[in-house]
Amino acid sequence: MNNAVYWLVLPGLLRILLVAPLRCYECELNRKKSNNTCLDPLDTTHDDVRVTQCQDPRETCLIVKTQFINGDIFYQRKCGKANHKDSCKDLHLNGTGYMLDVEVCSCQTDLCNTADSMSALSSRTIAFITFLWAFLL
């Protein structure tokens, strides 16, 4: 009987774990806004901070931090595509009259884009491993 329940539950659980859309925090801070809700640490209770579902399964949760030469910082948290997964990349952009330092961090777990240091192991992966360990051992 336990085997039958296991094989009936497993496909549904796998579908939830592997297909459920990723949810990310979404906000931005620019020079025109006086609040600091999108800065680290993220104030997830503020009205300007929203939870959004990523529309494309290739998207991850992102934090984009842009620092201008004059010291101004622009933060953006959102769903987006990144060439790197579960890590951060530093970019230095120089042009005529401007210089930018941009840090792009990506992660692949629900609501993971709360801080600059983001966990590398997906919560879906952990849940799947826990499920397999509980039922196969």
Tens of pLDDT, residue by residue over 48-77, are 999 999 999 999 999 999 998 888 889 999
Average the pLDDT over 107-127 and give the result.
68
Is the separation of the CB atoms in 30 and 78 below 8 Å? Answer: no
- pLDDT score at 119: 45
Average of per-residue pLDDT values in the chain: 79
CATH class of residue range 23-122: mainly beta
123-136 helix and 2-19 helix, angle to the nearest 10 degrees: 170
